[in-house]
Amino acid sequence: MAKIVGAITTSHVPAIGGAIAKGLQNEPYWKPFFDGFPPVRDWLAKVKPDVIVLVYNDHGLNFFLDKMPTFAVGAAPEYRNADEGWGIPTVAPFKGDPELSWHLIEQLVAEDFDLVTCQEMVVDHAFTLPMALCYPDTNWPVRVVPVCVNTVQAPLPSAARCYKLGQAIGRAIAKWPGDERVVVMGTGGLSHQLDGERAGFINKDFDLKFMDSMVHEPAWATRYSTTELVELSGTQGVELLNWMVARGTLPAKVEKKHANYYIPISNTASGLMVLEPAA
């Protein structure tokens, strides 16, 4: 059967793409952020995944406020990127895995998750930039399955619901008869707010507690409502729901293989973790 070999959680700020395009990785402002990724690439080279299930939130490229699914899963043979207006260069298409996608969809619906299934789908910076940070030559050596979570428009799914979605994805992958090695990636956050009276809000104490909970108490964030999570992490910091899905796919006991935390990049607290199932 297929096996989840680990999870990566990371930020997806659009400015990262601009820094890559301009070659700013060693500039003092950016270096502490980019220095976090060589260990991730080394880990990926060791575990050699065949598939990445990437959990992210769309920023209007594929879904907009008039049609915002709570959860959507891609089932396309290919996923393309398009210009979002940030000035970020578009990247090469990603190869999908329709068979595995439909297996996940069927299993999740059987567990009472009501999904939007997308046989055509474009992916934005929340998907492409984390992939480019992990595979900087953008010659994607893996197939991908996009899982999109609404972190944009109320009502949002709760942290508990997102954690349960991750657990259901984990069970579904375990039932897949193939021998694929799977990495689950959750992207977004950490604490930040881009608008309103609290624009520029960052909560380092909460971020570090949340990152610690990913290792030692994975259900910790589920004690908070989405409104409380917005208060603690900022309007856009609630993207941590994507991390909750990724963490839910792993067993209760994990090993932290790598972590990095840096403030700020584009008014965002950037978090990065690599987790493996405990031996």
For residue range 125-180, list pLDDT tens digits in order: 999 999 999 999 989 999 999 999 999 999 999 999 999 999 999 999 999 999 99
Domains of the chain: residue spans and CATH: 3-277 (3.40.830.10)
Find where tokens 């796919």 sit.
249
Asked whether the predicted pLDDT for residue 84 surpasses 90, the reply is: no
The pLDDT score that the predictor gives to residue 200 is 84
The pLDDT score that the predictor gives to residue 157 is 97
The pLDDT score that the predictor gives to residue 119 is 96
| pTM recorded for the entire structure | 0.96
Interatomic CA distance for residues 125 and 93, integer angstroms: 13
What are 203's two structure tokens?
A: 């909560």
Interatomic CA distance for residues 140 and 215, integer angstroms: 28
What would the pLDDT profile of 90-131 be if each residue is shown by its tens digit?
999 999 999 999 999 999 999 999 999 999 999 999 999 999
Q: What is the DSSP letter of 152?
A: S
Counting Cα atoms < 13 Å in the Cβ hemisphere of 126 gives 28
Q: What is the DSSP letter of 96?
A: B
Interatomic CA distance for residues 82 and 131, integer angstroms: 15
The pLDDT score that the predictor gives to residue 61 is 84
How would residue 77 be classed by pLDDT, with cut points 50, 70 and 90? Answer: very high
The pLDDT score that the predictor gives to residue 87 is 82
Q: What is the mean pLDDT of the chain?
A: 95
What are the catalytic residues?
A: 125, 192
Interatomic CA distance for residues 212 and 150, integer angstroms: 24
Torsion region of 6: left, alpha or beta (phi above 0 gives left; psi -120 to 50 gives alpha): left
- The DSSP bridge partners found for residue 78 are 95
